[in-house]
Amino acid sequence: MRQVLDASILKDFENPFGLKHGLPGVAYVSDEFWRYENDNLFGRHWVFVAFAHQLADSGDVAPVSVGGQSVLLVRDEANEINAFYNVCRHRNLQLIDETGNCGRLIRCPYHSWSYDLCGNLKNAPYFGGEANALPPDFELEDHGLMPVKCAVWHDWVFVNLDAEAPDFENFLQPILNQLGDNDVADYLPVATIEFGEVKSNWKLLMENFIEPYHVQFVHKATTSQPLQDHYPIIDKHCLGSAVDLSEDQVASAGEGTLGVTSHYLTLFPNFVLGTYQPDQLGVHLNIPLSAGVTVQRRVIYAHKDAVYSEQKIQQIKDLWHSVHLEDHAICERLQAGRHSAMAAQGGVLSPHWETSVRVFQELVAAAIRPSLQK
C-alpha cells in the first residue's frame, strides 16, 4: 500500500525527547519525496554541480541536472563559467546533451538559432521569412538564454535555480571558518576517480561521510584513525567530523592506509571536501539521478609545493577507490533497509557521534515541510 506523504511522516523524527530518530525510510525511497527535494531543496539551495578544470577552454560546455532541470554550463571567452537553462528560446529543444566544445556559438540543431558564450541570441535564421529577416516586434536581445545563478569557488562550480538565492559568500563562510589558514587555492587536481552509479539515495552518501562512527568498523582495513580521536563538526550548514592524530599515531599508521589528521567537511546539500595533512584534499561530487541512484566522482588534489610521483598518485587513487567502495557497499545496504516497515521511525542516532547527521536531516526536513503541509 502506497504511503501518503504528509507532515505525519516526520512526527517521530521531530520528537524532542530522548534519543533522536533519523528521517523515516520513505524519505529515501519515495519518488514523491524525491520530487519534493527537487522543487524545494535542490531548487532553492546552492548546489555543487561540476569541477571547473573539466571546463578548461573557451567554448567548453557541459549539461548538468539540478532540481530536475537541465542546466548548461559554458566557459566564455573571458574565461568565466556561465550557467543557463539548457533549452533554446525558440521551441525549447535541449541544446547540449553531452560534454564537449561548441566553439564560439551554442547552436540549436533544430532551426539553427545561435547564442554566444554569454547566452546572447546572435542569429535566428529565416525566422521572419527571409534569411536575415526578423518578425516585427522581435528583438534578438530579448530572446537570449535564460541565466541561472552560478558561482565558482576555486575548482568547484555551484548553481542556484532560485532567483532570490542567498549570497554565495555567506553560503561559503562556515566552511571557510573550518578551513582556517588552509587555503584551497594552493591545491591542484592530480587525479579523478569515476565511480559511476551507486544504488543509494544521495542523502545516505552524505550522512555516511558526515559521521565518524562507522570508520573503525567499515574501514578497518583502509584507515588508521581511531574512533575515540574523532569529533563531530557543526557550523551552521557546514557539517562533518574531524580527527587529529599525534606524530606517533601518524608514524605508526598501517602501510597503505589513511592515517593522518583529517577534516571531513560538507556544505548542505551536496558539497563534500576532505583535508588530509600535510598536502592533500579530496572533493567528491554526488549527483542524484533518482530516489535510489546517485552518480559519484572524486577528484584528488595535491598542494602546489608537493611532489607526487605517478606511482604515488596511483597509490592514493587505489586507496580512495577502496575506501569509497567500502562506503558504497554500506550505503546500498542502508538503501535496501529503508524499504523495510521497520524503517518507518528512522532508527536512532548516537547523541555523541551522529549529531551532525541529525542537523543535516533537520535541514532536509526544513526544506521539504512546505510540500508536506500543502
Number of domains in the chain: 2
**Residue 158 is assigned to a structural domain of this protein:** no
Q: Are residues 325 and 242 in the same domain?
A: yes
**Helix, coil or strand: residue 21:** strand
Can you say whether the dihedral through the CA atoms of 307, 312, 318, 322 is positive or negative? negative
Whether residue 278 is preceded by a cis peptide bond, meaning omega within 30 degrees of 0, is yes
Is 165 a member of any domain? no
Strand order in the sheet with 121-123: 106-107, 114-115, 121-123
Section 89-113 average pLDDT:
98
Matching residue, cell 536512532: 348
Q: What residue spans of 211-354 are helical by DSSP H? A: 215-218, 247-251, 310-337
Work out the burial of residue 107: count CB atoms within 10 Å of its CB; fewer than 13 is exposed, 13-18 middle, 19 or more buried: middle
Closest Cα partner for 230 from 331, 115, 330, 354? 354
Confirm whether 159 is domain-assigned: no
What is the CATH classification number for the domain harbouring 51? 2.102.10.10
The pTM for the full model equals: 0.96
Residue 280 CA to residue 259 CA, distance in Å, equals 13
* Neighbouring C-beta atoms of residue 319, cutoff 10 Å: 16
* pLDDT given at position 1: 41
Read off the pLDDT of residues 262-310 as tens digits, 9 standing for 90 and up: 999 999 999 999 999 999 999 999 999 999 999 999 999 999 999 999 9
Residue 232 lies in a domain: yes
**Mean pLDDT of the 50-67 span:** 98
Q: What is the pLDDT of residue 2?
A: 56
Domain membership of residue 161 (yes or no) is: no
Give the DSSP letter of residue 223.
B
Chain centroid to CA 341: 29
Please tell me whether residue 33 adopts helix, strand or coil conformation: helix
DSSP 169: H
pLDDT range class, residue 322, cuts 50, 70, 90: very high
| 214 and 334 co-located in one domain | yes
Judge if 234 and 105 occupy the same domain. no
pLDDT in tens, 204-263: 999 999 999 999 899 999 999 999 999 999 999 999 999 999 999 999 888 889 999 999
Q: Is residue 157 part of a domain?
A: no
Query: Could you tell me if 178 and 147 lie in one domain?
Result: no
Q: Using one digit for the tens of pLDDT, what is the confidence trace for 162-211? A: 988 899 999 999 999 999 999 999 999 999 999 999 999 999 999 999 99
Same domain, residue pair 240 and 355: yes
Percent of the chain with pLDDT over 70: 99
40 in a structural domain: no
Residues 146 and 210 in one domain: no
* Structural domain boundaries enclosing 138: 47-152
Residues 120 and 206 in one domain: no
Q: Is residue 299 part of a domain?
A: yes
pLDDT at 17: 80
SS3 131: coil
